[in-house]
A and B are shown apart, each in its own frame.
Chain A
Amino acid sequence: MIQSIDYAAIAPPLILAVAAIALLLADAFDAPRRVLSLLSGGSLVAALAAVIVLAPGDRRATFCLPDGLRGDGPRSCSYVADDFTLLFQGIVLGAAVIVVLLSLQEITDSKMPVGEYHFLLLAAVIGALTLVAARDLVLLLVALETLSLPVFALSALRRYDGTASEAALKLFLVSVVSTAVMLFGISLVYGATGAMHLDRIAPALADLPSDLDPVATAGSVLILAGFAFKVAAVPFHFWAPDVYQGSPLPVAAFLSVVSKASGFAGLAIVLALGLPSYAHVWGPAIGIIAAVTMTVGNLVALRQRTAIRLLAWSSVAQSGYMLAPLAVGDDRLPEAVAATTAYVALYAVMNLGAFAVVIGFNRRLGARRWDTLDDYRGLARRSPAVATALAFFLICLAGLPPGVMGLFAKVVVFRATVAGGVTWLAAVMAVNTVIGLYYYLVWAARLFTPAPGPSYDPVRGVPVRAAILSTATAALVLSAAPQIVLQTVSQAT
């Protein structure tokens, strides 16, 4: 049996896969550090270019069921490159480029092996790209694991450091448990419907015999739990702060943006395409998870003293906002998915920006210490541009003008939530926005308070500066013209 493969559709992950193998080989032959970094960054840019080329084209699908096995069912393709997929691939790749920029100096500073680092990073990105394109449960799971496994290694790459090993172990254990739970859920759904492709599961679930109903219910809730780990939603969030702190900071940025974005994409795909008829089950469940996630994240973030832990907890809270629209169930689901997507896209820019500044600033301390918020005092005196950029990112994350970008992200999420009739969740979000504002503002205000101390260069190194500059530019452009993202998202979903 021969299957024809649409290579254009899978070009982005394919490019990265080839590059990853080349990297590993080159590293074995002791290629210079510069070549390796260039190869890694270049392949990401090439993949991004492929995504952009694919974007105007039609929906492409590949790895479909052959005609002989299809019966009279739908086409059932495992890998689909539609607008939604390409949008998320774009987000993932763009963020990955920034992460590579941030990593360049960190690798040297922390004496990490260059080739392995870039190889693992590319492998994880391949997982993320496949995850957002997957349309059957097996490929979804495989992609999820491809995304997770390299990250364990990445966070433990600082081998001499105990906290890094601890972080990696914690990440590994939580991840394995959640994968097991998700696998169990998948097997239940498969048992109930006899299908793995989402476009077959949906109709099968819609007219399921009533005695199988509990099985499918349990299955869909367990699948949800698997994704809840990826996006660090309560109660699967415990790994986040320790891992963010323990692992190299660029890896933390990767986890909080790339990994989270693909987690949300996967969640949206499964819920919207596979399980719409069980919306009465997962809708309220997500509502509660979202409310608890944002509240816990924000409340704990209030108590944080180090910048990186604050970012970690705040990104837990942000996950809550992103989950909120999905709580509407199948009432106006496309709109809700669009809202979540828009928020993820905007969040990626602002959070990466904040991470970029934190990483650059932390460099002067080395890998073993982390900046407390008090260390940021007086940054505005030493480097007004960096301080302004960080303040802007924080205000964006808080969702207030002049960070119009963040405000619009909040508006679309509120709008989708309210339109779907989950007004109570919107009220919870309103309260949470206030809590969130407080700690972002406390941090931003520190930047501008004078502090005595020796003068130093706040962010050393061209790559980090480039990363800050590009995220800041993106944030400014999106603040002036948020419709760029909103428009694309509404067309793609």
Chain B
Amino acid sequence: MMAIPLVGALAMLVPGNRFLRTDAAVRVFGTAVSGATLLVAISALMAFDFGATSRMQLEVDREWAPAIGLRFHLGVDGISLPLVVLTALLTFLCFLYTLRHPPAGGLIRLLTALILVLEVGMIGTFVALDLVLFFVFFETVLIPMYVVIVLWGGTGRRAAAYKFILYTLLGSGLLLAGMLLVGAKAGTLDMTELAARHGSGLSHGVQVAAFALMGVGFAVKAPMWPLHTWLPDAHTEAPTVGSVLLAGVLLKMGTYGLVRIALPLAPDGAEFWAPWLGLLAVIGIIYGALACLAQRDLKRMIAYSSVGHMGFVLLGIATLTPVGINAALFGNIAHGLITSLLFFLAGSVKERWGTADMDAIGGGMLGTSPRLASILTFASVASLGLPGLAGFWGEMLALLGAYRPHADLPRETFVTFMAVAALGAVLTAAYFLRMLAKLTHGPADGTASARTPAAVSVQEYAAWTPLIALTLLVGLWPKTLLDVTTDPVRALFGGG
């Protein structure tokens, strides 16, 4: 029972820079290693006791640097488990996709190593139960992602990569200060212990300050309006696998951190800041939607749509109710599945047409490349929240949570938020439909559509099918996911 994710992560630390000669062999090796990690994650899923999802399971707890009270403490519960599996799955799918479609720029060996390190950081973030350890993993993802963008990115990659790393590092600096403030005042860095205390022993002022510091740190990552400006650039310039991991997992680290660390450690602070968080979340939703309407670039549009979707997630968190938090966690997973799929598709479109500019691609994709177009349509309607698909439940529950926020929060404010957010949902539908109308329907009139696009390859199908299946599964039976997260969320609020 001990440390299965840890073993998986440690195995990743020695990636294959040693013996594999050809690029293809390296890619196969990467796929195999990430596949093994996925298997480990799935076996963790099997070993997980679903009867007690609020309890930490599969724990490892060792001393690391006792001088500063640092422990190597890992474990999963219902909140982190889905994210761990999602991470392992997406990384595997990325490798699968790379098998056939390596990003331009060569150096596959380095790319493989970087993505594996990235995976270690991401999984580590989700399973770390010590504040400093969490921070270490949180930071681990920065450099590999920076290098991925710089080496394999588009034309404006250098600026985008710097923006990405500087923004997020600023967030992490404040995050570290906030976490250490809590750690110093409470005398422990262990997250389970701190969460069990529900902020007792911390004065109101400390909690407000700590939540503000940590909140800004996570909000940069999430990203919350107005700290989102790094995101569209980074997503647009990053290669396909980079965008997928960025959207699918890295953004989740922000919201996960809020739920896992900021809320339970500083509940008073959360209550103080919740209306502001809600306000910024709603602005993010509307802003993201409006920005999407104005985009010409496909990848950039999907990036802005992430701002909107993460707005819903943040709104859910801001309600401070079990319903809202559940919605947030659900939205996290759903967004991870759908947006990853969208970025995969955008990558494929860009590869075939040589551009991601929607006007240049022109319409008629249903005619020239029917399968790609149908999958794109599917992903889009899932993302705009069609009932029966994954995107719907997260948004719906978030709105529901906002309708009945935590008792100590001003209800009128949140009902207003709800109304505005619902408007945002409509706008979301508008821009996705506009995109579909532009790309899939109509005559094939784009300037870049001269050559016939290649058919969808086996690897692409392999990478997309699991995402499509899971989107359907989670959308049709939301209970599968909600069951896992409900108990630990209740425990967060001190209930049974």
Chain A: residues with CB nearer than 8 A to chain B?
Answer: 338, 395, 400-402, 404, 407-408, 410-412, 414-415, 418-419, 423, 426-427, 429-431, 433-434, 437-438, 441, 445, 482-483, 486-487, 489-491
Q: Which residue of A lies closest to B150 (CB)?
A: A445
B65, A483: Cβ atoms closer than 8 Å:
yes
B183, A487: Cβ atoms closer than 8 Å:
no
Given contacts A486-B67, A486-B68, A487-B66, contact A434 B170 (CB under 8 A): yes
Contacts of B142 in A (CB 8 A): 400-401
Task: Give which listed residue, A407, A427, A441, A483, contacts B136 with CB less than 8 A.
Answer: A407
Whole-angstrom distance between the Cβ of A12 and the nearest chain B Cβ: 25
Given contacts A401-B136, A487-B65, A487-B67, contact A414 B143 (CB under 8 A): no
In the assembled complex, B121 has its CB within 8 A of some CB on chain A: yes
B66, A434: Cβ atoms closer than 8 Å:
no
A401, B140: Cβ atoms closer than 8 Å:
yes
Tell me the bound Cα distance from A445 to B165 in angstroms.
13
The segment from B174-182, B344-352, B375-383 found at the interface with A is: B174-182
B209, A441: Cβ atoms closer than 8 Å:
no
Task: Give which listed residue, B121, B143, B162, B180, contacts A418 with CB less than 8 A.
Answer: B180
Contacts of B176 in A (CB 8 A): 410-411, 414, 430
Tell me the bound Cα distance from A34 to B370 in angstroms.
78
* A-B residue pairs in contact (CB < 8 Å), sample of 18: A400-B139, A400-B143, A401-B136, A404-B136, A407-B139, A411-B135, A414-B177, A415-B184, A418-B177, A418-B181, A419-B184, A423-B181, A427-B213, A430-B173, A434-B166, A434-B169, A441-B165, A490-B68
Tell me the bound Cα distance from A240 to B318 in angstroms.
50
Contacts of A419 in B (CB 8 A): 180, 184
In the assembled complex, B477 has its CB within 8 A of some CB on chain A: no
A431, B136: Cβ atoms closer than 8 Å:
no
Q: How many residues of B contact A (CB 8 A)?
A: 31
Tell me the bound Cα distance from A490 to B66 in angstroms.
10
A431, B173: Cβ atoms closer than 8 Å:
yes
Task: Give which listed residue, B67, B162, B165, B180, contacts A490 with CB less than 8 A.
Answer: B67
B165, A415: Cβ atoms closer than 8 Å:
no
Known: A338-B67, A402-B143. 9 other contacts (CB 8 A): A395-B143, A400-B169, A401-B140, A401-B142, A407-B139, A427-B213, A486-B65, A489-B67, A491-B67
In the assembled complex, B276 has its CB within 8 A of some CB on chain A: no
Whole-angstrom distance between the Cβ of B122 and the nearest chain A Cβ: 13
B143, A430: Cβ atoms closer than 8 Å:
no
The residue among A438, A441, A491 with the most chain B CB atoms within 10 A of its own CB is A441
Tell me the bound Cα distance from A423 to B207 in angstroms.
13
In the assembled complex, B76 has its CB within 8 A of some CB on chain A: no
In the assembled complex, B64 has its CB within 8 A of some CB on chain A: yes
Contacts of A404 in B (CB 8 A): 136
In the assembled complex, B132 has its CB within 8 A of some CB on chain A: yes
A438, B65: Cβ atoms closer than 8 Å:
no
Please encode chain B, from 149 to 191, with 1 for each CB lying within 8 Å of some chain A CB and 0 for all others: 0100000000000100110011001101100110110000000
The residue among A433, A437, A491 with the most chain B CB atoms within 10 A of its own CB is A437
A427, B177: Cβ atoms closer than 8 Å:
yes
The 8 A-B pairs at the shortest CB distance, nearest first, are namely A430-B173, A419-B184, A490-B67, A483-B65, A426-B177, A486-B67, A401-B140, A418-B180
Tell me the bound Cα distance from A434 to B136 in angstroms.
16
Tell me the bound Cα distance from A489 to B170 in angstroms.
29
Contacts of B170 in A (CB 8 A): 430-431, 434
Q: Which residue of A lies closest to B143 (CB)?
A: A400
Tell me the bound Cα distance from A338 to B65 in angstroms.
14
Contacts of B117 in A (CB 8 A): 402
Contacts of B213 in A (CB 8 A): 427
Tell me the bound Cα distance from A415 to B150 in angstroms.
33
Given contacts A415-B184, A430-B174, contact A483 B140 (CB under 8 A): no
Q: Which residue of B lies closest to A402 (CB)?
A: B143
Tell me the bound Cα distance from A12 to B66 in angstroms.
31
Tell me the bound Cα distance from A482 to B135 in angstroms.
15
Tell me the bound Cα distance from A389 to B346 in angstroms.
38
Please encode chain B, from 129 to 144, with 1 for each CB lying within 8 Å of some chain A CB and 0 for all others: 0001001100110110
Q: Which residue of A lies closest to B146 (CB)?
A: A441
Please encode chain B, from 366 to 395, with 1 for each CB lying within 8 Å of some chain A CB and 0 for all others: 000000000000000000000000000000
Tell me the bound Cα distance from A132 to B177 in angstroms.
31
Q: Which residue of A lies closest to B117 (CB)?
A: A402
Tell me the bound Cα distance from A401 to B209 in angstroms.
27
Please encode chain B, from 68 to 79, with 1 for each CB lying within 8 Å of some chain A CB and 0 for all others: 100000000000
Task: Give which listed residue, B135, B173, B181, B184, contacts A433 with CB less than 8 A.
Answer: B173
Whole-angstrom distance between the Cβ of B329 and the nearest chain A Cβ: 27
Contacts of B183 in A (CB 8 A): 415
Q: Which residue of A lies closest to B177 (CB)?
A: A426
Contacts of B177 in A (CB 8 A): 414, 418, 423, 426-427, 429-430
Task: Give which listed residue, B121, B174, B181, B184, contacts A401 with CB less than 8 A.
Answer: B121
Task: Give which listed residue, B68, B166, B173, contacts A412 with CB less than 8 A.
Answer: B68
Tell me the bound Cα distance from A437 to B161 in angstroms.
13
Q: Which residue of A lies closest to B141 (CB)?
A: A401
Whole-angstrom distance between the Cβ of B187 and the nearest chain A Cβ: 10
B64, A426: Cβ atoms closer than 8 Å:
no
Whole-angstrom distance between the Cβ of B123 and the nearest chain A Cβ: 14
A418, B184: Cβ atoms closer than 8 Å:
yes
Contacts of B67 in A (CB 8 A): 338, 483, 486-487, 489-491
Q: Which residue of A lies closest to B168 (CB)?
A: A434
Contacts of B140 in A (CB 8 A): 401-402
Q: Which residue of A lies closest to B142 (CB)?
A: A400
Tell me the bound Cα distance from A254 to B168 in angstroms.
35
Residues B85-143 near A (CB distance < 8 A): 117, 121, 132, 135-136, 139-140, 142-143
Tell me the bound Cα distance from A434 to B213 in angstroms.
16
Q: Which residue of A lies closest to B166 (CB)?
A: A434
Whole-angstrom distance between the Cβ of A481 and the nearest chain B Cβ: 9
Contacts of A489 in B (CB 8 A): 67
Whole-angstrom distance between the Cβ of B217 and the nearest chain A Cβ: 9
Whole-angstrom distance between the Cβ of A233 and the nearest chain B Cβ: 21
Tell me the bound Cα distance from A472 to B202 in angstroms.
42
Whole-angstrom distance between the Cβ of A374 and the nearest chain B Cβ: 15
Tell me the bound Cα distance from A430 to B177 in angstroms.
8
Contacts of A438 in B (CB 8 A): 162, 166
Q: Which residue of A lies closest to B69 (CB)?
A: A415
Whole-angstrom distance between the Cβ of A225 and the nearest chain B Cβ: 29
Q: Which residue of A lies closest to B151 (CB)?
A: A448
Residues B279-312 near A (CB distance < 8 A): none
The residue among A338, A395, A414 with the most chain B CB atoms within 10 A of its own CB is A414
Tell me the bound Cα distance from A411 to B180 in angstroms.
8
Whole-angstrom distance between the Cβ of B114 and the nearest chain A Cβ: 11
Q: Which residue of B lies closest to A444 (CB)?
A: B143
Contacts of A433 in B (CB 8 A): 169, 173
B169, A437: Cβ atoms closer than 8 Å:
yes
Whole-angstrom distance between the Cβ of A195 and the nearest chain B Cβ: 34
Tell me the bound Cα distance from A113 to B230 in angstroms.
55
B166, A401: Cβ atoms closer than 8 Å:
no
A401, B139: Cβ atoms closer than 8 Å:
yes
Q: Which residue of B lies closest to A399 (CB)?
A: B139
Whole-angstrom distance between the Cβ of A423 and the nearest chain B Cβ: 6
Tell me the bound Cα distance from A410 to B209 in angstroms.
20
Contacts of A434 in B (CB 8 A): 166, 169-170, 173
Whole-angstrom distance between the Cβ of A186 and the nearest chain B Cβ: 34
Tell me the bound Cα distance from A404 to B121 in angstroms.
13
Whole-angstrom distance between the Cβ of B292 and the nearest chain A Cβ: 29
Tell me the bound Cα distance from A177 to B146 in angstroms.
46
